Structure 1
Amino acid sequence: MSVTRREFGKLAIATVPGALLGEGALRSAFAAAKPNSLIKGVQVGTITYSYRAMKDQSAEATLKYILDSGISAVELMGGPIESFAGAPAMPFRPAPPPAARPAGPAAAGAPPTPAGPGGPGMRRQLTPEEVAAREKYAADLKAWRLSQSMDKFKALRKMYNDAGVTIYATKMLAPNMSDEELEYVFSVAEALGANHTTLELSTDGAVLKRLGAWGEKKKVYVGYHTHLQGTLTAFDEAFAVSKANMANVDFGHYVAAGSGDPVVFLEKFHDRICSFHLKDRKSKENGGANVPWGQGDTPIQRILQTVSKNKYRMPATIEMEYEVPATSDPVAEVRSCVEFCRRVLA
């Protein structure tokens, strides 16, 4: 099947009754000032994983975090999306200590494994009761997903759009989903106005082919995210098997892995990058640490200036992963990353 970028751009514009948005006061609270993080032609956004440490993870609270960060476009993860639509709540979600936090967003819909004794980064085994609760939750969530219309997701899109925030991507895919679940995930992305949905890069050729075929069918790109496995050749098979398979490359991890100059990747594959993640990390030779922007080795300035100069249209996604100072919070830190982008693009 031949699918062009123009065809993918023809996603339906959703309109829904205002009653689906809930209380009018909520809408007016978001309507006061609309952000604009389109900077010198570069759409700077963030993934909502950046706000993972905030207590309230609802779609409404997440929207406020985005607005307070000065962000006008977002990669929205499945948690806020599905809680807004009424998904069953997780039976437990114990948070790992800071040293045990994962390096990137967990697979959509899967509760994190609790961290426990044994030292930083160690994980304890789930109890039989927790295993049973997790399995029941997975079954309940799947049943709920397959029973949904798109009305609530269209309402969520309208709430975000009315506040000045575009949803350019969702993170809800998992490689082992059934066809019915894939239909749901791609339909949600379309209802939200996203032109791609993301997941971790697979090395399974059958998975790459299957998901690419679904992307072609639904006119929504599949964006494969990388951690330290990102290299100049990491996406070759994904690109080869489907035009719908795209890169959601993380340039901070790229530097920490010692994979070379991210700008080389950007210029070579600019037409196959649906969006890219930005963070500042030390190089592999310097230990690879995640640090506040401007203190690491990721060439953020050159990356953003290359996008601006060449008029590339993929969003630059802030993924705030460094340790938040005790005197700050994730919202303030994402806002500082946005300001960093403004300075280097001035």
Structure 2
Amino acid sequence: MANDRKYLIFEDVKNDSSLRDIFDECVTDISEDRARVSKTRNQPGYPSYPCFRVQGREILINALLEYYLLKIGGAGFDYDKAVAFTEKMRKLCGWSWDVDTTLRYWVERTVRAPFFEQVKSKDGYPEWTLKAGEPSWQLSESYLRFACYIAVCNVKYKGGDGQYAAGEIFKLVTALGSKLPADLKKNGSGDLSLGVRQYKSDIVNCSANDVFATIKISVKEESEEAYRQVLGFLCQLLSFSFPASYTVKFSSPEKKWLPIRSLPKKGIHQLFANAVNWPSLHPQIETYAKLAMKEFEWYNDLEAEYCAMPGTFAVFALGLFGDETYHPLLCDYLELCDGEHQSLQGDFVLAYIEKYGFTEKGLELYQLCDQNIQHLPKKLSALYAKRQ
């Protein structure tokens, strides 16, 4: 079967130097924004893969990226060229499996394998330690910067899973003596201006780090103006491509909680349970929810049965304490949230029905929830059966 394959993989150009001209032409097309992603032609026994087409030949996406990174490797590895080309690939192909996997293999081959060895793992996860003795050579700063760039991309484009992958890369780079991860932890990637990632006044203090996808908010006094400033900061931050999955660390003098069973008592919950008490802030809360709500994204500090899509607590607060204006938002949320992994929406609908009853809108929320959850709360099902 291998002899019948017509599309090109990395091993082809590695073993046949005559193919370099075709690969180089494809690199030029990508660099000059002429390339387009296509699909390999149907061949018996082979699936169809994303590819580039050059001179009538098909090159798989991962093959082209691996070829380019190998070509610019060596002592003179150019960080700026590597990032610029990878960004071209990302914009063309998205943060696809081909791009993600190729970059992960690059880290494993270039950063991990030469300098680290696996030790006995804890909790089922592999751990890596520096090999004994002095290495025969060292990675230049440009290699380590590119590894950190890959880590940042994992955070930005892979959601919760990317946080773990990025953390592993940062551990490797730090172990090799680099201060880059510490600088990124302190200042973020640099993609967000200081005015976007920080806000401070006499009554609030807000900061965000896009590399570690964390937002820290401190409210010094309970007032409408304080929460107006906090919501303004959050909405502006999410408008500037902050990672879609993130952690919010929040503190304030007042600790209120929404009257919903099983909601975790975390800072993000406290924030919206407090803010919803001012009706004039409800439009801002809705704006935050619409910016935050993205399927398969999560608040990173909520796990297992407490996992929640960003925007969850803002929606729940408006559902219980807002007016009917926000009913479409509740419906959008119940349709969008990942019912295979999240179940908090069932507790919200139960609280809503207990407060307002099975009105026309209550029935709609019940039906949407029933269609997008693995198991409804038993009490909610019992209430619905009782009204029949």
Instruction: Normalising by structure 1, report the TM-score.
Output: 0.28
Q: Computing the radius of gyration over CA atoms, which structure comes out larger, 1 or 2?
A: 2
Which protein is richer in helix relative to its size?
A: 2
Instruction: Normalising by structure 2, report the TM-score.
Output: 0.26
